[in-house]
Amino acid sequence: MSGIKKIGVMTAGGDCPGLNAVIRAVVKTAIQEYGLEVVGIKHGYRGLYLGGDEFVPLCLHDVSGIISRGGTILYSSNKDNLFDYTYVDEHGRQQRGDVSDKGVENLEKAGIDAMVIIGGDGTLTSARDFSRKGVKIIGVPKTIDNDLSSTDTTFGFDTAVATATESIDRLRTTAESHSRIIVVEVMGRYAGFIAIASALAGGADAALIPEIPYDINKVAEAVKANRARGKNFALVVVAEGAKPKDGDIVISKIVENSPDPIRLGGIGEVIAGQLEHLAGLECRATILGHTQRGGTPTANDRILSTRYGAYAVELLMNGKFGNMVTLNGADLGYASLENVIGKNKAVEKDGYWVKAARAVHMCLGD
């Protein structure tokens, strides 16, 4: 055992179904298995910098019943990197710089011996940097995009796919009733896991993903071929990071002072406009957006989140600091934060997702 008496837990980055289930598992395992104290740090790294009321004790009562709740009881922020942070100095002037020492100091003041940090690539990059400063950390991989390396699955992905699939099912009736093409834009950043999975589950006619640049004429041809066989509508699922051959991604806006300033979005409307012209059918676009990140997590995500949270505490107590919990097959393991940062996973062009899509003649735009 590592001599740990009190641990902290934090959620940072975008919200995600299953965050509360991880928090619950951390608290229950820490208290009931190891007799530890647990402190929740609110609002991610911003709370770590501010200290004080942002540090709240967590007991079993605090996590009772939260396994089914979306969001995070600790709140979150995706704009705060303490290694490059905008703050107000003692003279009231706005400054920007490395304030990570303040975060370490606040942990020491609170008597926190180690941390469980739950987040995606940006959050875990800071976790790695704090680990380099001597903070004892275990990371838990979180993203609906399923694009973190070293782990087969991230919690939140299953719920996002289920939400997208239900939406496709609902949109199918409108598409068929009005003889329309409906383009469904889903999240995923630069990876097409949500798009390809929900397109397969929802029986879409086409799926456009970042890993396979598309030719819009090929999509239009597929729609017209289906019409020739008597199908008077079409469903096209497009990942927000999809891009045409010899083209680029569609950016909705740039958020200044964010660790990840590029916000994707708008490709659905672009595709809809092009397909209406090329395929000769009325076309509508639906952007699912944050509906994929909210709401009740699926049973699979609750189970995975619980496994991740419990194992994170076990790793801390066994001194496996500076690592991220992983899932490979059915087995939990861990990988160094040094090795997983910045190595995002993508849909394999010859992997089982794509093979299944091609087997049922789903158009992938190539």
Which residues belong to the active site? 145
The residues facing 152 across adjacent strands are: none
Amino acid at 290: H
- Kindly calculate the radius of gyration of the chain based on its CA atoms and give it in whole angstroms: 22
- DSSP one-letter code for 365: -
Question: Sheet holding 137-141: strands in order across?
Answer: 55-58, 37-41, 6-11, 114-119, 137-141, 323-328, 331-336
Contact 56, 43 (CB under 8 A): no
Q: At what angle do helices 19-34 and 299-317 cross, to 10 degrees?
A: 40
**Cα–Cα distance between 85 and 88 in angstroms, integer?**
10
HSE, side-chain direction, 13 A CA sphere, residue 267: 34
Q: Is 360 helix (H, G, I), strand (E, B) or coil?
A: coil
Place of tokens 């790695």: 128
